[in-house]
Amino acid sequence: MFSRHNRLIGAFYLCADTLLAVISFWVAREVRSHLITPRPLYSLSNYLWIVPLSVGIWISVGLLAGIYREIKEEDLRRVFADPLKVGLMATVLLFAATFAIKFQYLSRLLLVLYAATDLVAMTLFRLVARRFAGPLRRSLAGLRSFLLVGEGPEAIEIARTIEAHEAHGMRLLGFVRPGSAPPAMFEQSPLHRSYPVFDLVQLPELLRRHVIDEVIFAVAKDDLERLEESFLACEVEGVKTRVLLTFFPHVISKVYLERLGEKPLLTFAATPENEYLLLFKRLLDFVMALALLVLLSPPMALLALLIRLTSRGPVFFRQTRCGLSGRKFTLYKFRSMRPDADLGREELEALNEVDGPAFKITNDPRRTAMGRFMRKFSLDELPQLLNILKGDMSFVGPRPPLPEEVEKYERWQRRRLRMPPGLTCLWALEGRSRLSFRRWMELDLDYIDHWSLALDCKILLKTVPIVLLGRGAS
């Protein structure tokens, strides 16, 4: 697994151990005061200082012992050894600290119960995490589809590493030959399955036609110069690019490196890369979507009833859209048009008011009376809270396009697919329906290039009054 993903898992384990340490102290106090001996303890306020001390000792020992540096769920020995190592050292330090403070009211039995409870909790957590290691890593690091450019033993070794982490969400799409190696060479390699082998000239089309998150170049140093066009194709598409660096005798300290197993890779990325902030963005999306679904369920039910009463057809409109890296998903909206609206689109093509592959008419005759009202205030978008809850979308991000629109994109426009789609973005602040298609694409790419949580908050805060006043919608 990539080293940055391992650090993300390590941070998750550290947060979990911190929470378990706090809970363990509360459990130990309840057991000591109610089950073991009737002699009452001092009030909880007298023990508040010991909680941060004990938790701090536990976590500090874990950090010094390196148990969060590289998480290996498959190693059953570490599941028991890491908590035991931390528990023994931390317990000794905790008793030494409390002995030095010399508080007479401090229950030594309470500290023993706390140490035992936390040791058991840490072990049980690691057993559970080991059982769900695949889904856990996939949820934190995401699904990743790789294309491998290379034809030597190093490329085969990287392919084997990717195969070994398939349960964690890594998938190898195939190989691209940078030279003239025969396909039989790849078929005879010691891999678990056979993969398609493509020629280098096919790379731009592969990036266009397939869901590819990353391209790894495992080539000789002499091959890099003639691969300039291939690097450019990846950069224009916004596909993350990694280069195997085994041919470098030394690595300059300022060069940013990523590691796949033990293999050093130079990484180029034209999209946001801070996994911690992106994970926090996803967490905020989930919490906000869940809260809004609960809060807005009565008005959404009323809208559904009005749609049913005022026009024939289903309440919800479902449509296939393209999400992150071009992955297709089903987008949900309240139906605002006649049920046969798609059949009449060809007749209205001449009235299209936007350039490029998008289609939009200000006074679309296919709209229902209820649909016109909902579209003015963007109420038809409310069911997309379900898409956000599922992880298909975010609150802020480029709007998810139709697959047929993506087919007509220019190469530089496809980079907008490398960020999760959203309900609103920078284009919403400039008038939504009044923008040219090119300006729309430029704003999406500007959002990707300057993304931050602060920018998301700014866009959301500015979007709310625009939606409430019904400005810019059509």
Question: Does residue 354 form part of some domain?
Answer: yes
Q: Which residue has the tokens 């579209």?
A: 375
Question: Does residue 230 form part of some domain?
Answer: yes
Are 124 and 164 found together in one domain?
Answer: no
Among 291, 355, 293, 328, which Cα is nearest to 417's? 328
Are 162 and 309 found together in one domain?
Answer: no
Tell me how far apart the alpha carbons of residues 433 and 398 are, in angstroms, rounded to a whole number.
14
Are 131 and 259 found together in one domain?
Answer: no
In this prediction, residue 289 carries a pLDDT of: 95
In this prediction, residue 98 carries a pLDDT of: 75
Element (H, E) at 280: helix 275-310
Express each pLDDT in 61-93 by its tens digit. Answer: 988 888 988 888 878 899 999 999 999 999 888
Phi, psi of 252 (to 5 degrees): -65, 135
Four-residue CA torsion sign, 183, 189, 195, 198: negative
Residue pair 145/325 in contact by the 8 Å Cβ criterion = yes
Residue 144 in 3-state DSSP? strand
Are 297 and 427 found together in one domain?
Answer: yes
Secondary structure E strands in 222-268 = 240-244, 257-260, 263-268
Final residue before a domain boundary, out of 268, 285, 320: 268
Residue 51 CB neighbours (<10 A): 16
Instruction: Looking at 212-262, list the stretches that DSSP marks H as alpha helix, in order from N- to C-terminal side.
Output: 228-237
Tell me how far apart the alpha carbons of residues 392 and 411 are, in angstroms, rounded to a whole number.
23
Phi, psi of 194 (to 5 degrees): -90, 150
Are 300 and 440 found together in one domain?
Answer: yes
Final residue before a domain boundary, out of 79, 110, 136: 136
pTM: 0.73
Question: Does residue 474 form part of some domain?
Answer: no
In this prediction, residue 148 carries a pLDDT of: 95
Tell me how far apart the alpha carbons of residues 68 and 461 are, in angstroms, rounded to a whole number.
38
In this prediction, residue 83 carries a pLDDT of: 93
One-character DSSP codes across 408-434: T--GGGGGGGGS--EEE-GGGGGTGGG
As to burial, measured by CB atoms within 10 angstroms (0-12 exposed, 13-18 middle, 19+ buried), residue 337 is buried
Question: Does residue 197 form part of some domain?
Answer: yes
Express each pLDDT in 130-139 by its tens digit. Answer: 888 878 777 7
Please state the domain count of the chain: 3
In this prediction, residue 392 carries a pLDDT of: 94
Are 43 and 110 found together in one domain?
Answer: yes
Residues in the chain where the model's pLDDT stays below 50 = 252-254
Are 124 and 182 found together in one domain?
Answer: no
As to burial, measured by CB atoms within 10 angstroms (0-12 exposed, 13-18 middle, 19+ buried), residue 301 is exposed
Are 378 and 316 found together in one domain?
Answer: yes
Q: In what order do the strands lie in the sheet with 257-260?
A: 197-199, 170-177, 144-149, 214-217, 240-244, 263-268, 257-260
Tell me how far apart the alpha carbons of residues 260 and 266 are, in angstroms, rounded to a whole number.
11
129 Cβ contact partners less than 8 Å away, ≥ 6 residues apart: 13, 16, 73, 136
- Hey, what are 65's tokens? 């012992």
Are 260 and 288 found together in one domain?
Answer: no
In this prediction, residue 26 carries a pLDDT of: 86
Are 282 and 241 found together in one domain?
Answer: no
Residue pair 459/425 in contact by the 8 Å Cβ criterion = yes
In this prediction, residue 252 carries a pLDDT of: 44
Question: Does residue 387 form part of some domain?
Answer: yes
In this prediction, residue 305 carries a pLDDT of: 94
328 Cβ contact partners less than 8 Å away, ≥ 6 residues apart: 320, 321, 322, 403
Question: Does residue 473 form part of some domain?
Answer: no
392 Cβ contact partners less than 8 Å away, ≥ 6 residues apart: 323, 329, 330, 331, 400, 421
Are 160 and 126 found together in one domain?
Answer: no
User: Which range of residues forms the domain containing residue 314?
Assistant: 275-468
Are 442 and 401 found together in one domain?
Answer: yes
In this prediction, residue 194 carries a pLDDT of: 86
In this prediction, residue 182 carries a pLDDT of: 66
In this prediction, residue 322 carries a pLDDT of: 95
Question: Does residue 297 form part of some domain?
Answer: yes
Question: Does residue 163 form part of some domain?
Answer: yes
In this prediction, residue 253 carries a pLDDT of: 43
